[in-house]
Amino acid sequence: MAAAAAGRARRGARLSAAALLALPALALLALPAGRGGGGGGDEGQPASLPPPPPPPPPPPFPLPPGLREELRQRRRDLRRLAAAGGGEAAAGGLGCGDLSLATGVSVLGWGFTKVVARAALAGGGAVALKSVHGAGREVRQCVLRYGAPAGCRRLAAYKLLKEVTLLQRLRHPGIVQLHGQCYDNSGDPEIRVTAMLELGSPLEMIQLLQTPWEERFKICLSLVKLLFYLAHSPLGSIVLLDFQPRQFVMVDGNLKVTDMDDASTEELSCKEDKDCTLDFPTKSFPLKCSAVGKCEGINEKKNLFNAYRYFFTYLLPHSAPPALRPFLGDILNATGDLRYGINETLKAFEKVLHLYKSGLYLQKRPLLLKDYISLKGFRTVEGEDYKCWPSYSHLGCLLSVHSAEEAAAICNSQSQCQSFIVTQRRTWTGRPLASFQSSLTDLIPDANAVVYIKRSTSSGERL
């Protein structure tokens, strides 16, 4: 099921009608076109994404002092983030008019703060809608503390506005794209805001573990590139405080972070080194206190160790090409001990990618293609055959190879394999896919193809 990510979203869950009505942001679907700061003038016309709004008029009743202070703090954070140098806010996008014309709204899941829905746009395509979860844990706990439901929903809305502001400023292939927002602050004590985002599908780690190593390496490399960007972003070094696989989605085969409301540009303040211990459940890392009173690199290192424990340890080593395993082991050891920073980690990943794409990792291996007969001008009919793992096809054994020579080595290592063909299909690295077969039945003419057959099993009757 396609899903846009919400922090801590529960996949496949459905809200009751009563709970859905309790979500004020989804009520914006009934607003007339153009209402609110994010709406355009004419129906269907893109509206500029507004800057963070000014403070609204005070509510008609006094809020508890503690809640007022929390609201002031979130407003200050939002203003500070909007005023930060570098990274201009993205212009253009969808607004309230587009939202009012959306159809087929269905809730995909929800978390502590937000609810996520899918909606079809009038002009075609679909988006993910993020809005405040009025019945979520954050609002409920706030109401228990302060007894002010409207003020508590407003507090949660500032968290969503912070996420929108970050998405406007941060543009990277590894960050989900903000298509627009609809903001309504017409004197109500609440803020009603809906963010319209790129639609993705949940990241399922169990499924990823069953994919070919090359695809898992792509996920990890994409994550490293994202963390490199966050470490050097226009807003400064950014840490993902709630860093877990559920904060990511897949969009057209690419990994993207979708939940940014818990991201922070602040680095921990300190007076001395002992103030800078980075703690995890199983490890602690002492860091240095800089001359400006900040823990050096703490945001970058926290992101990197989380990438190690949630992604690298599961996705990198299993079924990797044997010649690359020492390099991958070095990456795992250096990131697991935080001996590498993000710059060194990216260089190490790019080295592995170069070795893999160039075929240099295949050096000093015996040449086995001489043990095969090449039959030019033919290919095999695609169909069900013996299985291998991890295959790009559930019907048979389809693997990424650098060349016919590597395919011959793979065929030799599999007792069922009697022949193979290097197909025209390519992976994201540009490597071809080779199809391995247990028999030579159903050969058909193909001027661009070559079938390689083991000499030990070829015969005049077969050829």
Q: Report whether 300 contacts 226 (CB < 8 A).
A: no
Q: Tell me the three state secondary structure of residue 106.
A: strand
371 close to 454: Cβ distance less than 8 angstroms: yes
Q: Does the active-site annotation cover 242?
A: yes
Backbone dihedral angles phi then psi of residue 405, each to the nearest 5 degrees: -65, -45
Contacts of 379 (CB under 8 A, 6+ apart): 421, 443, 444, 446, 449, 451
SS3 175: strand
Question: Helices 342-358 & 325-336, crossing angle to 10 degrees?
Answer: 170
Reading the block at residue 193, the tokens are 């805001």
CA atoms within 13 A on the CB side of 431: 22
User: What's the 3-state SS for 278-304?
Assistant: EECCCCEEECCECCCCEECCHHHHHHH
Q: How far apart are CA 26 and CA 159, in angstroms?
A: 17
Pairing of the two strands 178-184 and 419-426? unpaired
Q: Pairing between strand 114-120 and 126-132? A: antiparallel
Determine the distance from the C-alpha atom of residue 291 to the mean position of all C-alpha atoms in its chain, rounded to a whole number. 35
Query: CA 407 → CA 91, 372, 451, distances in Å?
Result: 49, 11, 11
Angle at 417 between CA 414 and CA 419, to 5 degrees: 140
Rounded to whole angstroms, the Cα distance separating 176 from 199 reads 8
The SS3 call for residue 48 is: coil
Instruction: Find the catalytic residue in 42, 98, 188, 242.
Output: 242
CB 107 within 8 A of CB 10: no
* 280/283 Cα distance (integer angstroms): 5
d(CA 38, CA 35): 8
Omega before residue 326 within 30° of 0, cis: no
Residues with a catalytic annotation lie at: 242
